[in-house]
Amino acid sequence: MASLAPHLFAADKTAAPRTALIGCGWYGKADLLRLLQVAPVEVVGLCDVDKTMLSEAADIVTQRQKVQKRPQTFGDYRELLKQTKPELVLIATPDHWHALPAIAAIQSGADVYLQKPISVDVVEGQAIVAAARKHNRVVQIGTQRRSTPHLIEARNQILKEGKLGTIGLVEIYCYYHMRARENPPNTAPPENLDYEMWTGPAPMLPYNSLVHPRRWRAFMEYGNGIVGDMCVHMLDMVRWMMDLGWPDHISSDGGIYVDKASRANISDTQTATFQFGSLPVVWTHRTWGSAPDPQYPWGATFYGDKGTLRCSVNSYDFQPNGGAPVHRDVTYELEQYPEDKTEKDLEKHVAPAIRGHMLDLLHARENRSKPVADVEQGHISSASCIMANMSMELGRSLKWDREKQRIVNDEEANRRLRRPYRAPWVHPEPDQV
């Protein structure tokens, strides 16, 4: 489908919305440039608190978009929304800056592509969902495993056809050595970075070179660690493949067990169990040591009484109990989209999934329907991961009431559903959006 995109959308003005990007770093550019490959959108505005990053993104977009027009640039997302009035907004900021721009964009009348996890706390996510529903906006979340060709095949041809039989356990995991290991001193922020605005509603800490760019994920002040970054993808993929909703119980243990010298404060070792009725989905990450299966260092393994299915961004392997195994590799589209070959830092194996995700978003915009990674689905996956970290911090299991959207009989845990905001920023509330 992705290779047909220029033909599908060239004559349809509704599929070429005025588009803006908030957060012009690594994945912001990856998302926007994939959208430009499949639809003739006009990028009217870019926003970032790093002037150098913003200018570089403007140069690239000017070259890549068909109108050959340099988009306006902004350091404040509120000015971008006010002055350019975009119809579609892509948001790829650090996680602590997801909720406020997303809600503001929705309130302005724009549809939104929001990177995962949708929020850093549960109430933020509830507020984003409430805003999307109140203002009738389409919001696609960047959990693009739902648009990954080989995973769609595994879902449709193996899981949906019952080839695994009864599934009694799903393991999800990440063994990448991705946690920052350095311990540099605090310094003054670089002149090109508006550190006050970068910090926004998060706690104001002394600037450290680890936080910008990209490695802010090493700190719980700005995100939810590797569970919030990597588990959210695999948990969401499992939920989608098996049609699962909210987990009933969430429990987690972990901490910094090995790498105690780094400035990073996220766990280097953690397990979490998401209980869906009688089905446990068990997450494990280690940022040290080796992966049990080197072919699947980040993925999911479904154990059924008729076979086993392993899935990752790179492949899937189905081993039936008696019978021929099935192996599929990721789909590349390097010939259809030659820009993929030379684009800096692009995850080439993920590019087709992002394009598919963008096409799904455009289809949902035209039909005013829910996209495959609708905001509510993104909220369930994000909130579940946030509560896993809460369980680890509190040292106890959490029981979730999906109707009341609260943790059962645990007021301390419920207070943690909402993080404090640094003034003058005000925490969004579901009933005030």
Tell me: the pLDDT tens digits for 330-357? 999 999 999 999 999 999 999 999 999 9
The Cα angle at residue 425 between residues 424 and 429, in degrees rounded to 5: 135
Residues 6+ away with beta carbon under 8 Å from 160: none
Average pLDDT over residues 296-324: 97
Confidence band of 9 (pLDDT split at 50, 70, 90): very low
Q: Which tens digit of pLDDT belongs to each residue from 172-214?
A: 999 999 999 999 999 999 999 999 999 999 999 999 999 998 8
Amino acid of residue 427 = H
DSSP state of 43: E
Confidence band of 4 (pLDDT split at 50, 70, 90): very low
Q: Out of 4-18, 281-295, 366-380, 418-432, which region has the weakest mean confidence (pLDDT)?
A: 4-18
The pLDDT of residue 67:
84
Q: Which tens digit of pLDDT belongs to each residue from 217-273?
A: 999 999 999 999 999 999 999 999 999 999 999 999 999 999 999 999 999 999 999
Answer for the pair 356, 143: CB distance below 8 angstroms, yes or no.
Answer: no
pLDDT at 2 over 90: no
Confidence band of 93 (pLDDT split at 50, 70, 90): very high
Report how far residue 386's alpha carbon sits from residue 116's, in angstroms, rounded to the nearest whole number: 12
Burial of 59 (0-12, 13-18, 19+ CB in 10 A): exposed
Provide the β-strand partners of residue 171: 282, 301
Q: Out of 5-9, 50-54, 82-86, 260-264, which region has the weakest mean confidence (pLDDT)?
A: 5-9
Report how far residue 72's alpha carbon sits from residue 427's, in angstroms, rounded to the nearest whole number: 28
Report how far residue 54's alpha carbon sits from residue 65's, in angstroms, rounded to the nearest whole number: 16
Burial of 430 (0-12, 13-18, 19+ CB in 10 A): middle
Report how far residue 348's alpha carbon sits from residue 328's, in angstroms, rounded to the nearest whole number: 17
pLDDT at 374 over 50: yes
* Region for 214 from its dihedrals, namely left if φ exceeds 0, alpha if ψ lies in -120 to 50, beta otherwise: left
Looking at domain 2-145+348-374, which CATH architecture does it have?
A: 3-Layer(aba) Sandwich (3.40)
CATH match for 147-183+193-333+379-432 among 3.90.550.10, 1.10.357.10, 3.30.360.10, 3.40.50.980: 3.30.360.10
Average pLDDT over residues 48-68: 95
Neighbours of 56 (CB within 10 A): 15
Residues 6+ away with beta carbon under 8 Å from 246: 380, 384, 400, 402
Average pLDDT over residues 402-426: 98
pLDDT at 29 over 80: yes
Average pLDDT over residues 99-103: 98
Same fold for the pair 2-145+348-374 and 147-183+193-333+379-432: no
Nearest to 50 by CA among 202, 191, 203: 191
Report how far residue 22's alpha carbon sits from residue 75's, in angstroms, rounded to the nearest whole number: 9
Pairing outcome for strands 88-91 and 18-22: parallel
Residues 6+ away with beta carbon under 8 Å from 312: 296, 297, 298, 299, 300
Residues of the chain with pLDDT > 90, as a percent, come to: 95
Higher pLDDT, 1 or 301: 301
Show me where the domains of the chain are located.
Answer: 2-145+348-374, 147-183+193-333+379-432
Confidence band of 16 (pLDDT split at 50, 70, 90): confident
Amino acid of residue 354 = I
The pLDDT of residue 15:
57
Preceding peptide of 292 cis, ω within 30°: no
- Three state DSSP letters for 314-383: CEEEEEECCCCCEEEECCCCCCCCCHHHHCCCCCCCCHHHHHHHHHHHHHHHHHCCCCCCEHHHHHHHHH
Amino acid of residue 207 = Y
Residues of the chain with pLDDT > 70, as a percent, come to: 97
The pLDDT of residue 141:
98
Tokens representing residue 245 in the block: 């909703």
- Please count the CA atoms within 13 angstroms of the CA of 104 that sit on its side-chain side: 20
Burial of 431 (0-12, 13-18, 19+ CB in 10 A): exposed
